[in-house]
């Protein structure tokens, strides 16, 4: 869905339109979930945080000013994801409760997700985020640069590099 | 493996694993604001992107603004320079053509649709576009006026790749029609409407109208194109002027119309809304950066497929691209043909289609080397400059209005003083204040020298 339509639904949602919210959810869920997953690496955590994101969207929609709605939503997702990661890194576990690696105990079915597996295998976290935001979320490099607070040239270069790495890995896997 | 395949698979994988809405989210009520504020903060380009952040914060790019300004400057130059040349029978604003989108089936009346006559479409449909084309008696475009925001966006994108001023009317109509279709402002349930009026008479206008129809139909295959001849009364009505005007005078007025961007800028500056204008401009520029980014990707994709085709055919084989289309004479696997045509369509959506193999290679190298860091720096500088200009403009406005008051007081004071010094003769004989001041200065110098004993 293009930005104009999405913003139009956001305006309707501001007036309490649940149907508009449902449309917004369907249009943005993949981008939001994939981005949170690229930060947390854990499916269950990403699912939980994704739902929290939309709860926050419903709670705070009145504070959204006209502008880029999808960027607003993804910023909420980012804040929640990074807050979780910070909290998780401060937790101390006893021997009985071994920590899951970043990647979690709930793993994506690798056989049916070869590209996502490749993303996790070969890309650095920053590269994975940029690729996922652009390819899955549909965000422009300029928007990603604002979100991750990096120069747009860096984002573009990182993206191209990451795609090249992914491609090389997938082609090598296909040869096997 | 092509990039496109990787992207498709990654999206499909996430389609499969992305969770549905939980009960927690469903049960959370939407928190509506208790009181709507009387004044909503509105950007001039509501809903088209940008951000809910202060207008000056985000980095912007200069190129689109420079491109729009270049078009304006060129248009002005094209109007002014020919005016100084006394060519026999040459008219700068000879013909006036309007181009709009409209619902198919609207009655075919001869009318001129000015830029203020558009009504917004129902929600969900593409916005209408509106262009006015002024051409000279040699059939060359002098100026293209964008009647609304969407039209300005189309023009900004086109202007970056080619200058419309100086094109023949046919070429301009082709370029505008192609761009309108590529950007999604024309859909199959709509019609492209043109109206033409010429100072050289109805027959000339009829010929122009016929050519325009052919050109638009060629640019947008299958489009519904309506091209009519307009009249003086309709032109005058659309310009909103009353009184007796000749057709030539009306055409000259039409040529002086401001585009939507100019009009918005003037209006906003006059009302002290420099900040709103800046926000509007910056959003346009941001959209242009997005266009450049899309082009970079589109050309990378196209070149990848081109590379593959050349690999199959051999590098010294015949051309792949002829006149912007896949060479029909080359024998290719069907899948590869589809991939190439898909990639070409992606390029068309960015308003730029390479016409030949050489052009493709050149554009691919250019766009892949595009330095977005540099663009960002330029945009930031532009933003700072525009902000400073805006601030300085406000300062000057304030200072000038203050100064006018002060100067009047000063002249009144000087006049009164002169009257006193000259023994009540008054400042008669000095109608020019500068002359008066010069005489007063000389008198002062004489008095001063007396004091110094010289």
Torsional sign, CA A20, A23, A28, A33: positive
Is the model's pLDDT at B68 over the cut of 70? no
Is the model's pLDDT at B66 over the cut of 80? no
d(CA B410, CA B427): 14
Contact status of B43 with chain A (Cβ, < 8 Å) = yes
- B31, B290, B373 member nearest A58 (Cβ): B31
Return the beta strands (E) in B204-326 as ranges: 224-229, 321-322, 325-326
d(CA A82, CA A86): 6
| Res. B391 pLDDT band, cuts 50 70 90 | low
Contact status of B57 with chain A (Cβ, < 8 Å) = no
Two structure tokens written together for A65: 């000013």
**Cβ neighbours of B250 (radius 10 Å):** 21
pLDDT value, residue B323: 85
- Orientation angle between helical segments A152-175 and B274-313, nearest 10 degrees: 30
Contact status of A99 with chain B (Cβ, < 8 Å) = no
Is the model's pLDDT at B274 over the cut of 70? no
List chain B residues with CB under 8 Å of A59: 28, 31
Contact status of B17 with chain A (Cβ, < 8 Å) = yes
Taking residues A14-27, what's their average pLDDT?
A: 89
Q: How many beta-carbon contacts under 8 Å exist across A and B? A: 154
| Res. A24 pLDDT band, cuts 50 70 90 | very high
Phi, psi values for residue B431, rounded to 5°? -80, -20
- A62, A140, A171 member nearest B290 (Cβ): A140
Taking residues A11-36, what's their average pLDDT?
A: 90
d(CA B363, CA B384): 31
Is the model's pLDDT at B402 over the cut of 70? no
Two structure tokens written together for B213: 């129809």
Give the residue carrying structure tokens 């051309």. Answer: B319
Q: What is the CATH number of domain A111-176?
A: 1.10.10.10
Better pLDDT: B165 or A83:
A83
- A50, A65, A142 member nearest B293 (Cβ): A142
Exposure letters B217-240 (e unless 16+ CB within 10 A, then b)? bebbeebbbbbbbbbeebbbebbe
- For residue A149, the chain B residue with the least C-alpha distance is B58
Q: What is the DSSP letter of B128?
A: P
pLDDT value, residue B271: 58
Do the Cβ atoms of B110 and B230 come closer than 8 Å? yes
- A25, A71, A171 member nearest B51 (Cβ): A71
Do the Cβ atoms of A131 and A115 come closer than 8 Å? no
ipTM of the complex: 0.86
Least reliable range by pLDDT among A21-30, B82-91, B314-323: B82-91
d(CA B160, CA B267): 26
pLDDT value, residue A46: 92
- For residue B48, the chain A residue with the least C-alpha distance is A4
Better pLDDT: B121 or B199:
B199
Contact status of A13 with chain B (Cβ, < 8 Å) = yes
Every domain of chain A and the residues it spans = 1-107, 111-176
List the one residue out of B167, B188, B181 whose CA is nearest residue B216.
B181
Interface test with B, best of A65, A159, A162 (most B CBs within 10 A): A65
Contact status of B48 with chain A (Cβ, < 8 Å) = yes
- For residue B31, the chain A residue with the least C-alpha distance is A59
CATH architecture of the domain with residue range A1-107? Orthogonal Bundle (1.10)
In chain A, positions 154-173, which contact chain B (CB-CB < 8 Å)?
Answer: 154-156, 163, 166-167, 170-171
Taking residues B260-286, what's their average pLDDT?
A: 63
- For residue B45, the chain A residue with the least C-alpha distance is A67
pLDDT value, residue B212: 93
Helix (H, G, I), strand (E, B) or coil at A175: helix
Is the model's pLDDT at B98 over the cut of 90? yes
List chain A residues with CB under 8 Å of B48: 3-4, 7
d(CA B276, CA B40): 13
Contact status of B16 with chain A (Cβ, < 8 Å) = yes
Phi, psi values for residue B190, rounded to 5°? -115, 170
Taking residues B10-29, what's their average pLDDT?
A: 90
| Res. B35 pLDDT band, cuts 50 70 90 | low
Kindly list the distances between the CA atom of residue B423 and the CA atoms of A129, B182, B281, B413, B419, in Å, as whole numbers in the listed order.
Answer: 87, 81, 61, 16, 6
Is the model's pLDDT at A33 over the cut of 70? yes
Helix (H, G, I), strand (E, B) or coil at B198: strand
Contact status of A100 with chain B (Cβ, < 8 Å) = no
- B30, B49, B296 member nearest A21 (Cβ): B30
Strand order in the sheet with B141-146: B141-146, B130-135, B95-103, B190-198, B224-229
| Res. B188 pLDDT band, cuts 50 70 90 | confident
Taking residues B281-304, what's their average pLDDT?
A: 79
Do the Cβ atoms of B71 and B262 come closer than 8 Å? no
Number of helices followed by number of strands (H, E) in chain A: 8, 0
Contact status of A124 with chain B (Cβ, < 8 Å) = no
Is the model's pLDDT at B99 over the cut of 70? yes
Two structure tokens written together for B210: 């016929």
Q: What is the pLDDT of residues B194-212, one digit of tens each?
A: 999 999 999 999 999 999 9
Better pLDDT: A69 or A110:
A69
Is the model's pLDDT at B449 over the cut of 70? no
Better pLDDT: B106 or B234:
B234
Is the model's pLDDT at B106 over the cut of 80? no
Give the residue carrying structure tokens 């730029």. Answer: B352
pLDDT value, residue B47: 37
**Contacting residues for A101 by C-beta, under 8 A, at least 6 apart:** none
Taking residues A151-157, what's their average pLDDT?
A: 84
DSSP β-bridge partners for residue B135? B95, B141
d(CA B350, CA B280): 21
| Res. B119 pLDDT band, cuts 50 70 90 | very low
Taking residues B263-277, what's their average pLDDT?
A: 60
DSSP β-bridge partners for residue B322? B325
Q: Answer whether A166 sits within 8 Å of B51, measured CB to CB.
A: no
Helix (H, G, I), strand (E, B) or coil at A105: coil
Across all residues in chain B, what is the average pLDDT? Answer: 72
DSSP string, B290-316: HHHHHHHHHHHHHHHHHHHHHHHH-TT
Residues in chain A, how many?
Answer: 176
List chain A residues with CB under 8 Å of B22: 51
| Res. B157 pLDDT band, cuts 50 70 90 | low
Query: In angstroms, what is the C-alpha Rg of chain B?
Result: 30
Is the model's pLDDT at A136 over the cut of 60? yes
Do the Cβ atoms of A156 and B367 come closer than 8 Å? no
Return the beta strands (E) in chain A as ranges: none
Distance from CA of B1 to the nearest CA of A (A): 7
pLDDT value, residue B382: 65
Least reliable range by pLDDT among A141-145, B234-238, B261-265: B261-265
Do the Cβ atoms of A28 and A20 come closer than 8 Å? no
Q: Answer whether B1 sits within 8 Å of A34, measured CB to CB.
A: no
Interface test with B, best of A20, A136, A152 (most B CBs within 10 A): A152
**Cβ neighbours of B327 (radius 10 Å):** 16
Least reliable range by pLDDT among B10-24, B257-271, B400-414: B400-414
d(CA B263, CA B235): 20
d(CA B101, CA B185): 8
pLDDT value, residue A12: 86
Share of chain A above pLDDT 70, in %: 86
Better pLDDT: B440 or A71:
A71
Taking residues A69-85, what's their average pLDDT?
A: 92
List the one residue out of A135, A119, A110 whose CA is nearest residue A38.
A119
Distance from CA of B278 to the nearest CA of A (A): 15
d(CA A51, CA A57): 10
């Amino acid at each position: 869905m293009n930005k104009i339509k999405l913003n139009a639904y956001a305006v309707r949602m501001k007036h309490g339109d649940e149907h508009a919210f449902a449309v917004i959810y369907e249009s943005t869920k993949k981008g939001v979930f994939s981005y949170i997953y690229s930060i947390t690496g854990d499916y269950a955590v990403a699912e939980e945080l994704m739902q929290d994101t939309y709860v926050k969207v419903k709670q705070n929609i009145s504070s959204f000013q006209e502008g880029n709605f999808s960027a607003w939503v993804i910023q909420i997702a980012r804040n929640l994801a990074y807050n979780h990661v910070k909290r998780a890194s401060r937790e101390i576990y006893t021997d009985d409760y071994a920590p899951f690696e970043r990647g979690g105990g709930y793993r994506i079915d690798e056989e049916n997700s070869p590209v996502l597996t490749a993303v996790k295998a070969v890309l650095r976290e920053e590269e994975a985020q940029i690729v996922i935001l652009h390819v899955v979320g549909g965000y422009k490099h300029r928007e990603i640069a604002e979100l991750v607070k990096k120069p747009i040239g860096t984002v573009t270069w990182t993206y191209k590099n990451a795609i090249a790495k992914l491609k090389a890995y997938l082609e090598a896997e296909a040869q096997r | 493996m092509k990039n496109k395949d990787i992207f498709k698979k990654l999206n499909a994988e996430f389609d499969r694993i992305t969770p549905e809405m939980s009960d927690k989210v469903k049960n959370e009520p939407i928190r509506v604001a208790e009181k709507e504020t009387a004044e909503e903060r509105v950007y001039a380009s509501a809903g088209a992107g940008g951000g809910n952040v202060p207008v000056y914060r985000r980095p912007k790019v200069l190129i689109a603004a420079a491109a729009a300004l270049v078009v304006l400057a060129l248009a002005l130059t094209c109007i002014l320079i020919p005016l100084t040349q006394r060519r026999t029978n040459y008219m700068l604003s000879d013909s006036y053509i309007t181009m709009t989108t409209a619902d198919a089936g609207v009655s075919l009346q001869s009318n001129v649709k000015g830029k203020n006559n558009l009504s917004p479409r129902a929600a969900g449909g593409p916005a209408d576009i509106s262009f006015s084309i002024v051409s000279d008696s040699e059939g060359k475009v002098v100026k293209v006026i964008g009647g609304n925001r969407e039209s300005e966006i189309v023009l900004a994108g086109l202007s970056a790749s080619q200058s419309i001023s100086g094109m023949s009317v046919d070429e301009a109509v082709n370029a505008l029609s192609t761009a309108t279709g590529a950007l999604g402002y024309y859909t199959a349930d709509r019609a492209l409407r043109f109206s033409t009026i010429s100072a050289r008479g109805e027959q000339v206008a009829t010929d122009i109208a016929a050519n325009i129809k052919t050109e638009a139909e060629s640019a947008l295959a299958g489009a519904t194109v309506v091209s009519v001849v307009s009249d003086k009364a309709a032109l005058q009505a659309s310009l909103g002027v009353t009184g007796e005007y000749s057709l030539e005078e009306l055409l000259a007025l039409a040529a002086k119309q401001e585009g939507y961007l100019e009009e918005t800028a003037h209006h906003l500056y006059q009302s002290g809304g420099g900040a709103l204008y800046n926000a509007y401009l910056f959003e346009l520029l941001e959209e242009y950066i997005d266009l450049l980014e899309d082009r970079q990707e589109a050309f990378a994709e196209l070149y990848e497929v081109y590379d593959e085709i050349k690999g199959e055919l051999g590098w010294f084989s015949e051309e792949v691209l002829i006149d912007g289309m896949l060479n029909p004479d080359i024998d290719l696997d069907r899948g590869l043909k589809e991939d190439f045509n898909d990639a070409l369509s992606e390029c068309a959506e960015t308003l730029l289609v390479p016409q030949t193999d050489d052009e493709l290679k050149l554009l691919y190298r250019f766009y892949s080397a595009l330095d977005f860091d540099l663009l960002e720096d330029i945009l930031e500088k532009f933003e700072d400059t525009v902000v400073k200009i805006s601030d300085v403009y406000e300062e000057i406005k304030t200072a000038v209005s203050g100064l006018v008051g002060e100067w009047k007081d000063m002249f009144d004071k000087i006049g009164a003083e002169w009257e006193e010094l000259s023994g009540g003769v008054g400042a008669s004989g000095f109608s020019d204040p500068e002359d008066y001041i010069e005489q007063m200065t000389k008198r002062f110098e004489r008095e001063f020298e007396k004091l110094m004993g010289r």
